[in-house]
Chains A and B, each alone.
Chain A
Amino acid sequence: MTDAAFFDGIVKVLFVCVIVTSAYIITTKNLISLVRVYSLQSLVLFAIALALWWYTNEPVLLAIAILTLVFKVLLIPYFIASIQERIRIKRDIDFHFLSPTSSLLISLGLMIAIYITLSRILPGSVYNDTLFFFGAVIGISLVLMGMMVTFSRKRAITKVLGYLSMENGVLLFGIFATELPFIIEFLIVIDLVILILLTTILTVGIDSTLEEYHNRLHRFYLWEEMEESS
């Protein structure tokens, strides 16, 4: 059953899926579908890890796959979606610096640049295996594309999704560039969970409804000043 060509084909299809989802994350304005796409992207990663496990029989990969499924496909998107419902914000239309089209073009350029850089840096053992090399390139590209989302969007919740997408890139890179020990992937997931908990709580503070906000301003004696000046 371990048909190398078949495995190769499957993983390549999955790579394309990863790129499509990340392009969608960069350009979309709809927050709800943003979370769903993130969940889908994690699902693709889960599939990639599973395929790799099936190919190499490394138990670590199965563990990583399960971890991805539980946290990134199910728990984290669910949590973010429930927060979104509470703060009632559906769309994030503010793009700093970059419009969707230009960010797509930039990410294309980034991928080419990363391809060239990595082909010089990575040792021959990885470089000569096309599939693994592509995995590493896509991983790093995902990191940079996620960073673009984090810095070009205004709402904290979109920034969080950018960060999550970056982390998916790290996972992809880790799987393909080396044999990452499970403990490391586990640590980074812990980090994600804590980070999301905190940022979303703070986001509720910022993005919450206007009424609550006025109360808070009032308490800090800022509101009177604003009324006077206006």
Chain B
Amino acid sequence: MILAAFLICTAVASFLVAFSRTHGQMNAAAMGLAAVFLSLAVYILIFVPLPVNTFLVGNGFFFIDHLGLFEVMVATFLFFLATIYAKGYVGNLLESRELEEGSLKLFYIAWCLLELVIVLAFFADNLALFWIFAEMTTIISAMLVAILSAKENIDAALKYIFVASVAMIFAFVGFIFLFEITRSSLGTGSLNWTVLMAHASEFPPVMLTASFMLIFIGFAAKSGIFPFHTWLPEAHAKAPSAVSAVLSGVLLNVGIYGILRVFAIVHQTSAAAVIIPVLLVFGIFSMGIAAISMLPERNLKKLIAFSSIENMGFLLVGISVATPVAIFWVLYQVMAHAFTKASLFFSAGILHRQYRSDLSSDAPDNIHDVFRYQPLAAWGVILGGIAIIGMPPFMIFFSKFFILLELGSLSVFALAIILVLLFVASAALGYFVIRTFSQTTPDGEHVDLVPYRTPASMKAPIIFLVVIILVLGLMFPAGGDAFIAQIITELKF
């Protein structure tokens, strides 16, 4: 029944957006929706005994388990902050006439719908249903990328759609394989997570391997894994920053979520022996490509986007280790990466507004005197950067440290490669920050730059997120530990 609440609220919010006149009203409606979603997720967390699978009269289409709820918590929380941020950011886009008045309603309706389909994707019990919702997230978020309707944005959006959708078709072929597997070993075909998890050990490994590979292609493209990552830097760099934060913090998780779920099925059979090296290799390649691309990058948003690819690659490496401890820290890293990356994109958005090296995002950022004009954003990038490369005591340090520790007991060689790649990525980030932020104009010279008055709605989410990644890094609540441990038992690792 609670799923109906999500649907109705989205309908109401879209309705309100459609009939509101000013940007403030639309943003308020979207913010209300985000708040309702977040509180619904918290309500499920506290009051509903999990897993729930007799939903909407036990049709087997939707269910809620710990993993789904975990992802939904992260997603709704980020959406809430991103909507607050959008108030100031989109307002400024309107003032500078980069976003047309007419597109504003479309933007907020798409925003609300995106939030809904992401929640539904995480609560879908049926693989095919999950697939269609994942496709919807691609399409709606591509719309949000294209909303600025400059040629580069449309190009980036089309590239995103084609790469992701073509790859997702392969995932669909993989589902047909999986369906045939269940039909021949169980009698009736099924694509339900719950059924698949219960009977996974009975499936023939050869066909399961083929099926996993095809599904992996699809979800790897969704989460920006090499060699399907080509859409990611452009889409992330050209989208409005509020959208970039959601793309990186939430949408990439959809792909990783799918891979993790299917891997949990494969893990129970002997096919895992073939799959694990594949995941490891793709993970390392993603990290390598990202780290090398980061080195010469002079555009902040693109740099952060490449860092997302690197982190997704690292998550894949973590999944490939496949011990309970590693999976625990993979989930932790999903959350940590989402929060950290969102704070980085929020800060980058402020710098973007200030220095206007906008549309042609291939061009290097023309950032100078950053501490004089935008000290908060500068510190946001610095602290976020420190957090993302995995310095203690921020959250990502712990997940990286423990995943690497687990990996070391598996293969020292892989560990060595990954350490080098992590070092290269950190160096690239540090190099960018030091070079760019140290550019100052001498005191006497006249600077032709109007300071951008950053509204509080853009500052607050950054401060909040940095505090969160610091506090959660210092002390992770015991309930959280138990919750993630519960996920691992459900995934049978």
Residues of A within 8 A of B (CB): 120-123, 125-126, 140, 143, 147, 150-151, 156, 159, 163, 166-167, 170, 173-174, 177-181, 183-184, 187-188, 190-191, 194-195, 198-199, 202-203, 205-206, 213, 216-217, 219-220, 222
Contacts and interface: CB of A to CB of B under 8 A. Distances in A.
B180 A216 contact: no
Interface residues of B, number: 42
Given A183-B128, A216-B150, A163 B165 contact: yes
Contact of A178 (B169, B172, B179): B179
Interface stretch (B129-137, B344-352, B407-415): B129-137
A159 B162 CA distance: 8
Contacts of A173: 173, 176
A26 B132 CA distance: 27
A195 B179 CA distance: 25
Interface in B103-139: 128-129, 131-132, 135-136, 139
Contacts of A167: 169
A128 B132 CA distance: 33
Contact of B162 (A123, A150, A220): A150
A11 B191 CA distance: 29
Interface of B: 97-98, 128-129, 131-132, 135-136, 139, 142-143, 146, 149-151, 154-155, 157-158, 161-162, 165-166, 169-170, 172-173, 175-177, 179-180, 183-184, 189, 191, 204, 206-207, 210, 359-360
Given A173-B173, A198-B142, A205 B359 contact: no
A217 to B, nearest CB: 8
Contacts of A199: 158, 161
A206 B151 contact: yes
Given A122-B207, A205-B146, A205-B149, 4 more contacts: A203-B158, A213-B151, A216-B151, A222-B360
Contact of B157 (A163, A170, A202, A220): A202
A166 B179 contact: no
13 contacts: A123-B204, A125-B184, A163-B165, A184-B175, A187-B129, A199-B158, A202-B154, A203-B158, A206-B154, A216-B149, A222-B150, A222-B359, A222-B360
A178 B189 contact: yes
B176 A170 contact: yes
A143 B170 contact: yes
A187 B172 CA distance: 11
A188 B127 CA distance: 13
Contact of B135 (A123, A181, A191): A191
Contacts of B175: 184
Nearest to B135: A191
- The 7 A-B pairs with the shortest beta carbon distances in the complex, nearest first, are A178-B180, A187-B132, A184-B128, A121-B210, A191-B135, A205-B154, A166-B169
